[in-house]
Structure 1
């Protein structure tokens, strides 16, 4: 078996004949020396000229000058003409506005965690922005808004992906030509460049995704030096990167899975290492639990702590939070009402479940099932949120004779919808979205109904006033804001609950409300509280101060609300979204996305991956499967005897990037939410790394007369395709008909 050159990747080749097979197998462990490629200047003969040598020039070029030039090029391409389009472009309308809320301190709600938007807010603060521009789509930026600095701040994250890529590929052990080619592909990737030019989350997410993988690869290079100070530092940096990427978008969990698999493999090898003392083995576990689980979670939680601290005023996102959080915001719309809820009181009732919305109904009917009035959860202020407490069906008392009868623990009640006068009702008809629950509907009238309209109220928690001088309230009576209760159906025994799911378009994407079997009184999906309370027969106690909300409760509920909002982002079958695309269209470049107005007088940007990068990396995914299958077959037939170091190198160079592509691509295939081209950006990076492995494996040890021309062609091709398609990321201007040459596929709508 031939030796491996130090510039190659894992070199795995079968023996040439069965007669030498056994000997080759026994020699494999010594012949397959897979040390990471590093220039070895110590073996060079000293030059007779002490000032400079060819080896030193080559080493300096690879280690310092090359990375510096690529980084400068990356900044140049992303900063070039960054302010030419002076209008709000694409999702700048969302994220620029979210950033402005931190400046004005108004609470908002979004489907993503807050770190990326807080970084955008930081750029706005540094730009001197006062928060009073609305970032309406396609609106021109006024002169006083320094949008160029905000975009440059975002572009910095995109530009820094380039040195991170070079660091990663060198640490993976690719030969220097492959490392520089992969880095050049990231530098010249059109989709990376164009999304770096605007106030978006994508470059921030990509940067932290790359740093997380880079830290993991660096830990691989320190495998022989575990528990040293350097290894401990990189383990900590890995945890910090995991915490940051998950705090920008939840898709950061995809790269976290890869780090988790890497960690499991390390611990698995330590478990079977008989030379490792058990104390050190448990120390390995402890360090990883602290650095890779506890620290990322603390970072994620700390981002929300800052988020809540900065957003202390009532704003557009109030509806996504619980009553206690809202009532403590400055300028809250929740008014101080009578403290004891009575029969005859009019109320709004908010859930503590996955969708902390208000109990809601309207005149529309369910399209199937009972075909009675819909009961939903709705967060915003609306007269259809108002309900009235009344006596149960078999209760002979009347409201006119019992105006001041309080609602107590265990009371039998009916809830009558204020506008439709229908009763909150449930029956043995299955729910419409979730499985295993009963439908809740609006049924009958105030005077005509049955016992299926009756509910039993169970108080589960009471909170004292935030005013220590306020009198002690009766713990057996329902009070607005501070009393948490459950509503158990009198006949079915199930509990009124919010599932966290949303109805389709016929239910206006509002939250699903059901009657569910619940065996624990701690099931927050079944918890409710009175938010607003009106009763003309009762006085308002002005000295009442609501209790403070608990950070842990707010943290849990806002994440539940984010999950619910994410699940509601489903394609509308009745509407055509020209910007949406299917996941299969991303690695094939079947279609792109117009990011702004396509009028003649503005700079236009088209989101499309580089055909060179995307098509080659997509092809490499199939070639990778073939290569791994070949290696597995040879190993199975005992033509190869892979040692532990070789397996690790094979994993870090090929298997982990391929798995990272899978974790960043296939979840979008399986999930039902609407998807866009920009969702493929992290997956594309790992496809490019997989291409690097396939290239290194295929020609890393080839004859120089074959190897170098191929690399030269790839470098030239990557650069040529960038130059050819540069207008789509640097700005199409004037008559777009002159760019007709760029429409290689009929589905690309660059011109038409």
Structure 2
């Protein structure tokens, strides 16, 4: 940073303009690209080759040498004893299983986007894994599962975090003391270390977040040379970064928001530059739209396209997708099923609302309302989803030997539940959750029933044949239907409203009095269809749409993620709240805690976590004090230093808020590993505050700065060495390992 002016001075009124809080984070001087590591002049330049000595060359590349050293140290920390535990640890049970599905090409469903899981599968493929292991929690890996190699491949993302963190601090314009401190904290935090050593998504998520922030800082340092090759290069990589991070976990949307806020502020500043031609303004806007919106979205969509291409066989996640999508998977039985629906057919009925499930019933009854048998929507395929289409009570019963009678538009039918023989029924009883709708239940049996069992079939359209006018008979898979209750005039409806535990957390089904023809939650289609009297269907011409499947799967993922709420009836000993994270109130046991088991405890380096949390408070307070002093026309920094202070502070503080506050707002169950992406911004703020008050101070002696760095670095290294066992693995009785519970809330010793 510039040293042309004193740190503390009172300027004449109007001598220095007071920068706004929302000033663009772009250095206004022509040398604003000079903060980056690539912009330093070569020692001896201008004197020919003779002027470039080995000493000068080493001095010029000292930052790269340090980056290489940190990379080698990171390899050691991430790979040391990585295969020590031969058991399936924590969420390896999930993500290892997803890798197996990819290798066997079986379609599955998960709440996270597919890129990270495809990389896990790629690690398995490169390691020689064949997809045959079941990855049951706590199970011992068999000899044919190269789990150590898979862990090492994925740990490489954790390795790369350290040098990228080092170079990010350099690009942020921090002093070398602060840069070293950032690299040490990223290297030696036992939380980041522990989470990077297993078959999980977190190492990839963390790397892509750190990579995106690095690319953003590189792009910022190219702002003085707009539309140059370097400018385009780093803007494009920033877009690729946010595309990759959102394709691993939706948490990536938070760093995307950080890039978005930076871009909005940057463009707003350019919009206020009256000297900039309109054509150049348009070029800036177009570049951001293409590189930071279109490109990331294409990366996100491409990950799903590859996901669909690989998983082309029927698997455990079929029921989350549309019936037409399932019909295009290999190995399902839809090709043997008849196409045209007839009376006497045995069917399953799927709701066509995005994320909808199968119409379901079971012997359990509603605890209130009518007390009759429950009706729900359920994604898992089982025999409780099967119904039979029958005639009205006042018509002759279905004759399996009589003429085949197909189902047409406006037919009035009964739907009898196969397993319990009860009939789909509705009446003037409020729904269990949605009280404005009518309750839907199962009532009667094969001989007992009434007119409240009658449902009128209303054809909406057909995905192959087109509008209702072209639909003569109801077809499985493609015909969209509505079921109108003949007596009440309401429509059978299911959405994402979940029943309590008495309803097994399944989706509520009601009958809505509102006749909204455009409500997709009232749309249904016949999925599975069995009728021995009808020929199998020819479904080769039934093609699905990628965009429809892409949208459907993302909504289903969102609904499932929102359903991950704490269960008041159960105590989750692993869960924690966001308020537990900044000061490391709780950790997380990642495996069994027996004396013969290798134990891993997910917690952080206390110095890193506590220092980062305190620095956020100090940073916010410092900013407030500076604003008050500036209002009194007492400026402690020149414009260059003030803009730099603001820029780094905004990246760190706003990045932290964007990654932390949403977890306070959302109602889903949370764990301590959700704070790990947020921690990176606390680390940047920790280094930034030390840099601002100590390392870059013009009033402190170099010895004071060296002592301060030595104390901080020793504290980080010392606490890492003290707690390294929680990441490398603790063997034997836990009571033999003393001094690990610095806080009483850490459940390291209590069983």
What TM-score, normalized by structure 2, do the two folds share? 0.89
In the other structure, the counterpart of 1:418 is 418
Please say if 1:217 is aligned against 2:217.
yes
Deviations 1:188-216 (A, max 9, x none): 01011111111110000000111111111
Q: Distance in 1 between matches of 2:368 and 2:636?
A: 63
Structure 1 position 605 matched with structure 2 position 596: no
Per the alignment, residue 314 of structure 2 pairs with 314
* Change in CA separation of 1:5 and 1:38 when aligned onto 2, cut-off 3 Å: farther
Residues 454-513 of structure 1, C-alpha deviations (whole Å, 9 max, x = no match) = 433222232459xxxxxxx97221111221222234466553333134323221122233
User: What is the alpha-carbon distance in structure 2 between the residues aligned to residue 499 and residue 14 of structure 1?
Assistant: 64
Residues in 2 aligned to 1:652 and 1:504: alpha-carbon distance in whole angstroms: 48
The farther-off stretch of 251-260 and 501-510 is: 501-510
In structure 2, what is the Cα distance between the partners aligned to 1:731 and 1:474? Answer: 66
Q: Deviations over 1:308-331 (max 9, x none)?
A: 111111111112122122222222
Cα distance in 2 for partners of 1:140, 1:129 equals 15
Q: Match for residue 470 of structure 1?
A: none
Going from structure 1 to structure 2, the CA distance change for 1:416 and 1:645 (only over 3 Å counts) comes to: farther
Q: Report what 1:527 is aligned to.
A: 523
TM-superposed CA distance for 1:352, in Å, is 1.9
Q: Report the Cα distance in structure 2 between the residues aligned to 1:98 and 1:27, rounded to whole angstroms.
A: 55
Q: 1:613 to 1:27 in 2, by over 3 A?
A: closer
Q: Work out the CA distance in 1 between the residues paired with 2:433 and 2:178.
A: 50
CA contact (8 A) 1:502 1:567 kept: no
Which of 545, 550, 554 is matched with 1:550 structurally? Answer: 545
Q: 1:499 aligns with which of 484, 495, 498?
A: 495
In 2, the alpha carbon distance for the partners of 1:108 and 1:213 equals 32
Partner SS for 1:217: helix
Could you tell me whether the CA contact under 8 Å between 1:353 and 1:500 is conserved in 2? no
Is 1:455 the counterpart of 2:455? The answer is: yes
- 1:723/1:520 CA distance change after superposition, 3 Å: same
User: Are 1:479 and 2:479 matched, yes or no?
Assistant: no
Report the Cα distance in structure 2 between the residues aligned to 1:178 and 1:513, rounded to whole angstroms: 58
Indicate the SS of the match to 2:109: coil
Deviation, 1:426, is: 4.2
Contact 2:9 2:636 in 1 (8 A): no
Task: Answer yes or no: is the 8 Å Cα contact 1:352–1:557 preserved in 2.
Answer: no
**What is the RMSD of the two structures over their aligned residues, measured on CA atoms?**
3.3
**Candidates 665, 674, 697, aligned match of 2:669:** 674
* 1:53 Cα deviation from its structure 2 partner: 9.6
Shift of 1:336: 2.6
- By how many angstroms is 1:389 displaced? 2.7
5+ residue gaps, structure 2, are: 21-26
Equivalent residue for 1:585, pick from 572, 580, 583? 580
Q: Is the 8 A contact 1:657 1:689 kept in 2?
A: yes
8 Å CA contact retained: 2:386, 2:418: yes
User: Tell me, what secondary structure is at the counterpart of 2:456?
Assistant: strand
Q: What CA distance in whole angstroms lies between the structure 1 residues aligned with 2:375 and 2:568?
A: 23
CA shift for structure 1 position 707 = 2.7
Alignment of 1:565 onto 2:560: yes
Higher mean displacement: 579-588 or 437-446: 437-446
Query: Which is further off, 255-264 or 354-363?
Result: 354-363
Distance 1:356 1:392 in 2: 28
Contact residue 28 and residue 640 of structure 1 kept, 8 A: no
CA deviation string 1:575-620 (max 9, x = no partner): 2222122221111211211212323334321111000100111111
Separation of aligned partners in 1, 2:452 and 2:291: 53
Structure 1 SS opposite 2:739? helix
Q: Aligned partners of 1:199, 1:461: CA distance in 2, in Å? A: 46
| 1:350-387 C-alpha deviation (Å, 9 max, x unpaired) | 12223231100122223345544322111223222122
1:367 aligns with 2:367: yes
Distance in 1 (CA, whole Å) between partners of 2:409 and 2:639 is 65
Q: Could you say if the C-alpha distance between residues 433 and 107 of structure 1 is closer, same or farther in structure 2, counting changes exceeding 3 Å?
A: same
Deviations 1:39-91 (A, max 9, x none): 976899999x9786988765543x12211111111111001111111121111
Measured at CA, do residues 709 and 44 of structure 1 come closer, stay the same or move farther in structure 2, by a change above 3 Å?
farther
Evaluate the alpha carbon distance shift between residue 612 and residue 726 of structure 1 in structure 2; reply closer, same or farther with a 3 A threshold: same
The normalised TM-score by structure 1 is 0.89
1:326-725 matches, within 5 Å, as 326-334=326-334, 336-391=336-391, 399=398, 404-426=404-426, 431-433=431-433, 438-443=438-443, 453-464=453-464, 475-490=471-486, 494-516=490-512, 521-536=517-532, 538-541=533-536, 543=538, 545=540, 547-640=542-635, 649-699=644-694, 700-701=696-697, 702-704=699-701, 705-725=703-723
Q: Distance in 2 between matches of 1:32 and 1:463?
A: 57
Q: Unaligned stretches of 5+ in structure 1?
A: 466-472
Spell out, residue by residue over 1:416-470, the C-alpha distance to the aligned partner (whole angstroms, 9 max, x if none). 33333444344566555568655433345666666554433222232459xxxxx
